[in-house]
Amino acid sequence: MKKVLLLLVVIFLSCQSEKKEKPNSNAQSISKLILPPEPYFVDIKVNDVKLGKPAYGDWLFSRKEKGQSFEQFVRTKHVVPTKEESIIYLKPIGRFDSSQLKQIELVRQYLQIFFQLEAKVLETVSNDIIPNKAKRIGDVGQEQLLAGYILTDILKEEKPAKRIALMAITEKDLYPKPEWNYVFGLASYSDKVAVSSMYRMQKEADFKLGLERLLKICSHEIGHMFGLSHCIEANCVMNGTNSMVETDKHTLRLCSLCQRKLNSGIKYDNLKRLKELEKYFKENNLTDGLALMEKDLEKIKNK
C-alpha cells in the first residue's frame, strides 16, 4: 500500500530536487529594506483558509515542511523578469485533439494573467522527437515518455527569444525512471524548464475539471521558478500534493503571503491582476475560481 501511495505522485513532487536555498547576492541589503505588507495583502489575508490537519496519504502527513516566510523568500535566489528574460513559453508535444488544443490556449491566457507576463505557445511537435530509448509501454498498455529526457534533451537546449520559463505539455503518459509506474510531470527549476502530461489529468474528467487541473499544475510549477516554496500557511495553489484527489481539494488562488512574494519580484498591479482573473474565470465558467476572486475584490472595495 505504501508503494502505491508513493507512486501517486503529481508534478509537484519534482520540486524536491531543487530545494536547496541559495543566497541572493543582494540578500543582506534587501533584508534591511523589507517593509510591512501593503494594504492589499493585509485586506485579502482575511480570505486565506487555514490548512486543516493532514490526513494519511496527504503531502504534509509524511513531509514536515517548514514553510517559507517573506524574509526567507527575499533572501533566496530566484528568477526575476528582465528586459532580456520576460516571456513564459508552452511547448505542446504530441498529437492533440481540438479540445486539448483549446485547453492549452486557455492555459496560456491564464499564465499571462496569473504572472502578469507575456505567455506564448510554441509550435506543436510530434512525439517522434522522442527516441525509442526514452519510450516504453505502461502497465495498462499505454505509451509512456521519459520525463527527464524531455527536460534535458529537448527543453534545456531550446531557448526562444526572451524565455524566462518553458513548460512542455504532452498528451502521452510520463514516467520518471524505470522503477516508477508514472509521474504527472517533472521540473528542473535551475534550468527553468518543466513538463506535464494531460493523460491522467483528463481521465474521468470533463473539460472544466481537466482545465482546472492544468491551471493549478502549470501555475504551481512556474511559481516555483519564481522562488515560491510550498505553502503551508493556507489552502493555496502552492500547496504540495500527493495525488490527484488532493490536487482537486486545493484552490486555484495564491494565498496572501504567496501573492506578496510573487508581486515583490514581478512588480505588477495587484488590483489589475485580480480583476483580470475574475474576468477569466467568469468567461470560462470556472465558478470556484470566480468566487475566490470576488471575495478578494469585495474586501478591497470595503476599504
Provide the annotated active-site residues: 221
Cα 74 from Cα 81, distance rounded (Å): 15
Cα 32 from Cα 266, distance rounded (Å): 20
Q: What is the DSSP string of 154-195?
A: IITT---TTEEEEEEEESSEEESSTT-S-BSEEEETTTTEEE
Nearest Cα to Cα of residue 144 among 170, 169, 174: 174
CA atoms within 13 A on the CB side of 6: 7
Q: How many helices (H) and strands (E) does the chain have?
A: 12, 8
What is the torsion angle, in degrees rounded to the nearest 10, for the CA atoms of residue 84, residue 85, residue 88 and residue 94? 80
Set of cell numbers at residue 226: 519564481
173-175 and 87-93: which strand pairing?
A: unpaired
CA angle 247, 37, 71 (to 5 degrees): 70
Q: Could you tell me if residue 291 is left (phi over 0), alpha (psi between -120 and 50 degrees) or otherwise beta? A: alpha
Q: Which residues contact 30 (CB under 8 A, 6 or more apart)?
A: 24, 74, 75
Cα 291 from Cα 257, distance rounded (Å): 19
- Write the single-letter amino acid at 287: T
